[in-house]
Amino acid sequence: MKLRVLGCSGAEFPGHSPSGFLVDEGLLLDAGTVGSALEQAEQGRIRNILVTHSHLDHIRSIPLLADNIVVSGTSQRVEVIGTAEVLDAIASHLMNGLIWPDFTKIPSPQAPVLTYREIRPEEPFTVGAYLVTACRVNHPVPAVGYRITRDDSSILYTGDTGPTDRIWELAGELAALIIEVSFPSSMEELALMTGHLTPALLARELAKLSRPPRRVLITHLKPQYEETIMEELRALSIPGLELLQDGGRYRL
């Protein structure tokens, strides 16, 4: 699988964009950043979006992507995939005709640009060539991570989470783990309160895995504490650890 980082920050500043990852050109993992990173032709290849949770920095580009597609006049259709709670939040509070038009009815109710697909945690499903399993994680709103397999390669994307357990039991052998670290270890209390990780908490989570992933790709750093977090992560000497960067491209 090819991974392109559209955004991997825990906040927005120049050069720091919210979470959005493009897999093999057609599958999005979260959609905090899309249009500011992809040209129109690249946006036109997107067919599916796996959404981990309903916080704005993970969904904000969905309505903007839909608008771009409709204006382009193509027949492109995009499936937004998530749990019932996530899809309900998007429909009720984002694309509700007030904050943004309901693109599940545009350009027509018979052929909308967006459709919703509800999935259930721990029930595997297919998305094109991928076998996907969602698993609940620890966040203030209902949230899941996704294990995604294509051929003989699997990646696990946690989305936003604090300390959790079940997802590590389901992880299996991984080519890569994409996991968040939002705060330095000195801010553990805030991290736990808001459902995030620190370097120290990350080390405890990785110890729960029966098999270490070949690569540990870190995302969602708060830019205000980036240098401190990076120093703390390097001190852990975790094999295969890399810090993701906006615009980065990886083969997994």
The DSSP result for the chain, as a single string, is: -EEEEEE-BSS-BTTB---EEEETTTEEEEESSSTTTS-HHHHTT--EEE-----HHHHTHHHHHHHHHHHHT----EEEEE-HHHHHHHHHHTSSSSSS--TTSSS-TTS-SEEEEE--TT--EEETTEEEEEEE---SS--EEEEEEETTEEEEE--S-SS-SHHHHH--S-SEEEEE--S-GGGHHHHHHHT---HHHHHHHHTT-SS--S-EEEE-B-GGGHHHHHHHHHHHT-TTEEE--TT-EEE-
At residue 112, the pLDDT reads 97
Tell me the domain boundaries of the chain: 2-251
16 contact partners, CB below 8 Å, separation of at least 6: 7, 9, 223, 246
Average pLDDT of the chain?
Answer: 97
Low-confidence ranges of the chain (pLDDT < 50): none
Report pLDDT for 122.
98
- Reported as a single tens digit per residue, the pLDDT across 30-66 is 999 999 999 999 999 999 999 999 999 999 999 999 9
CATH assignment, 2-251: 3.60.15.10
Q: How far apart are CA 252 and CA 68, in angstroms?
A: 30
| pLDDT score of 104 | 97
